Amino acid sequence: MVRVIDAMSIRIKGLKKKFGSFVAVHGVDIEVPEGKMLVLLGPSGCGKTTTMRCIAGLEAPTEGIIELGGQPVFDSQRRINVPVNHRNVGMVFQSYAIWPHMTVTENVAFPLKMQKLPTAEVEERVAEILRIVGLEQFRDRGATSLSGGQMQRVALARSLVMRPAVLLFDEPLSNLDARLRDHLRVELRELQTRFNITSVFVTHDQSEALSLADQIAVMNTGRVLQADDPVTIYQNPHSSVVADFIGYRNIFPGAVRQGGDDGILFALDESSFELTSVHPPPPGEGGIFACVRPEDFEIEAHRPDQPVKPNTFIGEVTSASFMGSYTQYRVRSTTGQVIDVFHNRAPLDLPPGSPARLHVAPKSVLLLPMRSAS
Amino acid sequence: MRRATVAERSAVPVLVLVTLFVLVVVPILMVVYTAFRDAVPFSGSESNFTLSNFGALFEEKTVSAAINTVIVTIGGTLMATAIGCILAWLAARTDIPFKPLVHVVGILPLFISMLAATVTWALLGAGNSAYLNIILADLGAPFRIEMRSLAGFIFVEGLYHVPYPFLLVYAALSLITSDIEEAAAVHGANQFQTTMKIIFPVVLPAILGSMILNAVMMVENIAVPQILGGPVGLETLSIRVYYLMNRIPSSPTQASAVALLLAAIVFALIYAQNFVLKGRDYRTISGKGAQQKVMSLGNWRYVAAGFVVLYFTVAIVLPMLALLLGALRANAYIANTAAMFDVAQLSSDRLLSITSDSEVINGLKNSLVVAFVTCVFGTGFFFILAYIVHRTRIPGRKVIEYIAMMPLAIPATLLAMGVLWAWIGSPIPVYGTIYIIILSFLPRFMPQAFRALSSSVMQVHEDLENAALLCGATRAQTVWKVFLPLVRGGVVSAAFLLFVLSLREVGGALFLYTTNTRVLSIVVFESYENGSWDFVAGVSLLYTVLLGGITLLGLKWLRPSL
C-alpha cells in the first residue's frame, strides 16, 4: 500500500540572502525534525518565501548552511550548492504551476520519467497517487480544464509521487475560495502526516498557520522572531509583533506604573486608563505593550448606576457584526482606545451607539516588548 | 554535485554578447568613425581625421532634404493616425456592419510592400499621363493630381502606415473593460464625457506610441522619395544618403555624416516617445478582453461603412487595378479613358516574359533564401536572447536587451552602410554573397522579433519551469519539455514575422548587393531607375502576389505578433 517516505530533517544555519543591497533574509536558523510541518508565518516581504526558495534551490543563499537529512545541500563556506533538480524536494506553488500542455497523468508522471523509472512502475505509482488525491476520474483530462482546487491536487500529487525528501508549500491555498481552502487544508494536513513528510509551509494567514503547524516560525524583516509549537506561540508570544500576527488584535502602548502582589499596574499612553496584569513586565529598556486577544474581553451593556470593576473599559459600540459562531464588536472607549471584541455567546442587544463596558481578567493581559530581547 | 565553474557559466552570455556586438554595434561604429575620416577605413586607401564631411549638412540640397523629411513625416503621421484611430474605434466600439471586415481592412496594407504601393501611385498619379489624370481630363476636371510632390509623399506615406495606429489603438480599446466605462456612467458621465475623460486618456499612450513608430518608419523610408521624388529631384534625407553613396564618384564619408543626422532625428523621436510615455502605461488596466459595450451609430452606420469602403478602395483596390493595368498593357501610351479599358490593348505577353526573366527568377530565389536563412537563424538567436534576458539572472542581460533594441533607432541606410564597411575588409569573404544581406537583415529586424519573442517568453509563469526543475529535470530538459511547447505559438509567429519582413525589405539591402545577389525588392527598386514601366508594374505585381499569398497562408500564425 502507501509507502511511508523516509523522512529527512531540515537544518538551516545562519541563512542570509541579499538581492543587490537589499537583505531579504538576515541570518535565519531553523530546524524541522523528520516528518514534522513547519509553518513560516509573516507579512509579505518578510523573507519567508525567499527562505523556502533557498531550501528548494531556486535561490542561491548569500551565506549559510542548509542540510537535508544531515547532508549539506548548500554550504557557502565549503562551496557546496546542489542544483535544484538533484535535491529531490517537492513544491506546491501558489500559482499551481500545472503544465497546461499536458494531461493530469502526464503532469504527475513527469518527475518519475525524469528519474527514468520503468513504464509499469510509473503507471502504477501515478494511478495510486491520483486515487489518493481523488482525481482518478480526471486522469486523461487536459490539466487546464480543471478547477483551482483540482489543479492544486494535481500539483500535490505531482510532488507526492516523487517521494520527496521534503515538501514545500508556497501559500498553496491563497488562490482558492474560503470553503475549498478549509477543506483542502484539512486534507493536506492528513496526507502530510500519513506520508510522514517533512514539510515547510509558507503563509500570511494565522489561522492556517495555527491549524497546520507542528512548529510555527514567525518572521519579519528577514528574521525569525519566534519559533514554537502553535499552542505555546498562541498563549505565550514573546513580543507584541508576534502577538499581532497571531491574533492579538488589541495592542496598547504604555508604561508600568507599579508592581505589587495583586499584579502589575500598567498605564496606557495618552490616557489615564490603567490595566492590571498578573504577568511580569519584560526586563530591559524600550516600549512596552499591553496585548489582549479579542475573545478575552467580556462585553456587556453599560449602566451608569452599576458599579464598575477594575480592568474595565467603558465606551460606545461603533460596529457590531454577527459572524455566526461569534459576534464581533468594535468599541471606542471614553479613554480613547479602539477595541475589538469577539463575543462567543448569544448575541447581545448592543447596536452601534449603545454604551458598553469591557472587562478583561488580569491573567489575559500580556505585557510584551515590541521585539523580544533575544 | 559540483558547481558550474565561472567559465562555464559565463561562456554562453559572452558568446551572445560578442555576436550581438558584431551584428549591431560594429556597423554603427563603422559609420560614426567614417563620418570623421577623409576616406572609408579598411578600404586600402589611407584615412585621416577630419570634420569636413559635416560640411555636407549645410549644403542647400541636404538642408532642403531635411526640411522635406520633417514635413513629410509630420503630415504622413497625422494622416495615418487619424485614419487608423477612426478605423480602430469603428471596429472595436461601434455596431458598424460587417465588423470583422473592418478589422481586415485595417491591417491589410501591412501586407503590401511600400515599394509596390509607391509604384502603383506613380502609375495612378504622377504626371498628366497617369491613369487618374487621364480620367480627370476626360471628365473635364480643372485640376490634376501630382504625386511627385510633398503632398504626394505625405498621401502615400499616410495611406499605407494606417495599420500601426489601427493595431495599437484597437488593442488598447479592446483591453478596456466595460467596467470602467460603466463606473463613469454610474458616477454621472454621459457617453461623450466618458469617451473624452476615460477612454481617450487610456488609449492616448497607444496613439502616441504608434505616432512615434510611424514617424520613425517614414523618416527612414526610401521607396517613396526614390520613385516619386526621383524624376523631379525632390529629396528626403534617407534618399540623400543613398545618392551620396551611389553617385559617381561616390562620397561615402559625406553620406556617413548625413546618415548621422538622420539617426539623430530618429533618436530624438525615440527619446520623445520615452519622455511622453513615461508613467503612462495603462496596459495593466485589465487582464482579458472582457465584455464590451458597443456604441450604436444609428444611420451614421452607413457613413462609417462608406468611410471604410473609401479607404479600402483608395489604399487597395485602385492600386491593384493600376498594377494589373500597368503590367498587362501592350503599349505604355494611353490616349484617353476609353483606351485605358480597351481590352484589345491588353496583353499578357509582357507579364509572362517577366516570369521567365532570369533577373526576376534570380531575385526571387535570392529573396527566398535570404528570408529563410534570416528566419531560421534569427528565430533561434533572438529566442536565446529573450530567454536570457527574461528568464535568467546572468549578469549583462540588461546590456543584451539594450543592444537588441538598439537597431530601432538606426535608419536602414545607415545600417546597410555600416554592414558594408564592417565586412568588406574582413577576412571572411561575405561581401558579394547573399550572406552579407542576411548580416544586415538580422540586426535590422532584431527589435521586432526580440520583442515578439520576449512577450511570449514572459507569458509563461516562472513557476512552471521551477516545478519541472524541482521534479528533477535539468535546465535543458525544462526548456525542451515544458518551456518550448508552451511558447511554440509565439515562436512560430515570430519566425513568420521575420520571413515576411525579410521579403519586404529594401533599405537594409542597399549597397550590399551585386548583379548576382539582388533580392526581389532590389530588382523592383532598380528596374524603376531603368525606366520601363510595364516591367516595373509586372515585377511589382508578382512581388505583391507573392507577399500577399505567403501572408495569407501564415495569417493564423502571424496573428500573435501583430
Does residue A1 fall inside a structural domain? no
The C-alpha atoms of residue B398 and residue A199 are separated, in whole angstroms, by 37
pLDDT tens digits for range B329-359: 766 667 777 777 777 777 777 778 888 888 8
pLDDT tens digits for range B156-189: 999 999 988 898 888 888 777 666 777 777 777 7
Same domain, yes or no: A36 and A135:
yes
Any alpha helices (H) in B392-431, and if so which ranges?
Answer: 397-405, 412-424
Lowest model confidence (mean pLDDT) among A193-202, B35-44, B128-137, B224-233: B35-44
A250 in Cβ contact with A291 (< 8 Å)? yes
Q: Looking at the partner chain, which of A82, A101, A114 has a beta carbon nearest the beta carbon of B472? A: A114
Does residue A5 fall inside a structural domain? no
Structural domains in chain B, CATH included, are: 12-40+348-562 (1.10.3720.10), 58-316 (1.10.3720.10)
Does residue A2 fall inside a structural domain? no
Same domain, yes or no: A138 and A28:
yes
Same domain, yes or no: A124 and A30:
yes
The C-alpha atoms of residue B466 and residue A56 are separated, in whole angstroms, by 10
Same domain, yes or no: A229 and A364:
no
Q: What is the pLDDT of residue B551?
A: 78
Q: Choosing among A62, A77, A110, which should be mutated to test the B contact, i.e. which has the most B CBs within 10 A?
A: A110
Does residue A303 fall inside a structural domain? yes
**Assigned C-alpha cell, B255:** 553620406
Same domain, yes or no: A229 and A266:
no
B162 in Cβ contact with B311 (< 8 Å)? yes
Same domain, yes or no: A357 and A280:
yes
Query: Looking at beta carbons, which residues of chain B come within 8 Å of A62?
Result: none
Give backbone dihedrals phi and psi of A270, rounded to 5 degrees, phi first. 60, 20
Q: What is the pLDDT of residue B6?
A: 46
Give the DSSP H/E element, type plus range, for residue A107.
helix A104-114
The residue among B237 and A259 whose pLDDT is bigger is B237
Same domain, yes or no: A21 and A76:
yes
Same domain, yes or no: A162 and A66:
yes
Check residue A334 and report its DSSP letter.
T
Check B472 against A111: CB less than 8 A apart.
yes
pLDDT tens digits for range B48-93: 787 777 877 788 888 888 899 999 999 999 999 999 999 998 888 8
A16 in Cβ contact with A63 (< 8 Å)? yes
Structural domain ending residue among the three candidates A235, A258, A281 = A235
The B-side interface with A (CB below 8 A) comprises 1, 3, 461, 463-464, 466-475, 477, 481-482, 485-486
Same domain, yes or no: A251 and A188:
no
Work out the minimum CA distance from B488 to partner chain A, whole angstroms: 11
The C-alpha atoms of residue A228 and residue A230 are separated, in whole angstroms, by 6
The C-alpha atoms of residue A205 and residue A183 are separated, in whole angstroms, by 15
**Domain that includes residue A264, residue range:** 245-369
**Size of the A and B interface in Cβ pairs below 8 Å:** 67
Q: A304: domain CATH number?
A: 2.40.50.140
Query: Looking at beta carbons, which residues of chain A come within 8 Å of B477?
Result: 114
Does residue A323 fall inside a structural domain? yes
The C-alpha atoms of residue B105 and residue B107 are separated, in whole angstroms, by 6
The residues with which A18 forms a beta bridge, in sequence order, are: A23
- List, in order, residues 6 or more apart from B338 with CB less than 8 Å away: none
The structural domain count of chain A equals 2
Q: Looking at the partner chain, which of A91, A96, A101 has a beta carbon nearest the beta carbon of B470? A: A91
Residue B7 reports pLDDT greater than 50: no
Lowest model confidence (mean pLDDT) among A210-224, A283-297, B30-44, B227-241: B30-44
Does residue A261 fall inside a structural domain? yes
**Assigned C-alpha cell, B25:** 554595434
Residues of chain A with pLDDT under 70: 1-6, 260-262, 373-374
Same domain, yes or no: A257 and A216:
no
Q: What is the pLDDT of residue B141?
A: 80
Structural domain ending residue among the three candidates A192, A216, A235 = A235
Q: What is the pLDDT of residue B556?
A: 67
The C-alpha atoms of residue A170 and residue A8 are separated, in whole angstroms, by 19
- List, in order, residues 6 or more apart from B392 with CB less than 8 Å away: none
pLDDT tens digits for range B267-309: 888 887 777 766 555 443 443 444 566 777 778 888 999 999 9
Does residue A374 fall inside a structural domain? no
Q: A172: domain CATH number?
A: 3.40.50.300
Q: Looking at the partner chain, which of B467, B482, B486 has a beta carbon nearest the beta carbon of A93? A: B467
The C-alpha atoms of residue A264 and residue A279 are separated, in whole angstroms, by 7
Does residue A3 fall inside a structural domain? no
Q: What is the pLDDT of residue A125?
A: 94
Structural domain ending residue among the three candidates A195, A211, A235 = A235
CA-derived radius of gyration, chain A: 25
Same domain, yes or no: A83 and A125:
yes
Work out the minimum CA distance from B279 to partner chain A, whole angstroms: 25
**pLDDT-above-70 percentage for chain B:** 91
Same domain, yes or no: A137 and A194:
yes
